[in-house]
Amino acid sequence: MRYLIDTNIWIVYLKQASTEVRTRLEQTSASEIAVCSVVWAELLHGARKYENRDVREHKIELTLDPFVCLPFDLPAARHYAIIRDELESAGQPIGGNDLLIAAIALANNLTVVTNNSSEFGRVPGLSIEDWSTPTKSNP
């Protein structure tokens, strides 16, 4: 695995027929992509907020099922504690779920794919990419 895909990237993929995100996801081997339990939870919660819950949840499950789902485990908890302490000490905390996602990525040595670099970019040592921009600007 190389990448942990953030919720906002999956939302772009699920909602838009033709995007840079879709192209990058379809060009990247499923074995290189991971999802985490926090992202699953955010997406399933989002599906419940609108009509056609069952259809939306089914679409999420079909889309994410092929990928490894990483839990928030003890190694992630250790990263979480360090990240939270560092960011709070610097007066730059990030959202709770983003903190969990970042900790899971660091624990598994993965790059977070997100279009929320303003939050994730504050996490020391975290590698991030934004697949919603044209491919030529991504490493």
Ramachandran region, residue 33 (left: φ > 0; alpha: ψ -120 to 50; beta: rest): beta
Residue 130 tokens read as 């934004």
Are the CB atoms for 128 and 111 separated by under 8 Å? yes
Q: What is the pLDDT of residues 7-37, one digit of tens each?
A: 999 999 999 877 899 999 999 999 999 999 9
Torsions phi, psi for 36 (to 5 deg): -125, 165
Rounded CA-CA distance 10/15 in Å is: 9
In order of their start, the domains of the chain are 3-137 (3.40.50.1010)
Q: What is the pLDDT of residues 31-74, one digit of tens each?
A: 999 999 999 999 999 999 988 999 999 999 999 999 999 999 99
